Structure 1
C-alpha cells in the first residue's frame, strides 16, 4: 500500500511530499492501527487559514484533504510516520 502526505502553502508557499510503499506485514504491524484511527469520513468542510498549510493525505484508496489545524491526533501521527519512513527509503 502506498501512504503519502503532501503539504502545500503556508507563509512560504512551499510544497513538500512524502511517500512510502508499505508491504502487508509492515502494514499490519506498524501502520494499520494509525490509519484506521484517522477519521477519514470527517475531513470535509474546514477551510484553511491564511498563512497556514494544507495537507493531502492518502493511504491506499483512502484520501483526506485537511487544513493544517485539522492535522492533530492520529492524523499528525500518520504524517510523522510517513515523513520518517520516506526519509529512510533508498533513493
Structure 2
C-alpha cells in the first residue's frame, strides 16, 4: 500500500511531500491501527485560510484534504509516521 502526505500552501506557497510503500506484513504490524484510527469519513468541511497549509493525505484508496488546524490526533500521528518512514526509506 502506498501512504502519502502532500503539504501545500503556507506563507511562501511551497509544496512538500512524503510517501512510503508498505508491504502487507508491515501494514498489519505498524500501520493499520494508525490508518484505521483516522476518521476518513467524518472530516468536517474545511475553510481554507490564507498563509496556512493544506494536507492531502492518502492511504491506499482513501484520501482526504485537511487544513493544518485539522491535522491533530490520529491525523497528526499518521502524518508524523509517514514523514519518519519516508526519511528512513530515502536515506
Report the Cα offset of residue 36 of structure 1.
0.2
Does residue 29 (structure 1) correspond to residue 34 (structure 2)? The answer is no
Q: Which runs of 5+ in 2 are unaligned?
A: none
With the length of structure 2 as denominator, give the TM-score of the two structures: 0.95
Alpha-carbon deviations, 1:35-78, whole Å to 9, x = none? 00000012251112221100000000000011110000000000
| Secondary structure of the corresponding residue to residue 82 of structure 1 | helix
2:62 corresponding residue in structure 1: 62
Distance of aligned partners of 1:90 and 1:53 in 2 relative to their CA distance in 1, 3 Å threshold = closer
With the length of structure 1 as denominator, give the TM-score of the two structures: 0.95
Q: Which runs of 5+ in 1 are unaligned?
A: none
Q: Which runs of 4+ in 1 moved over 4 A?
A: none
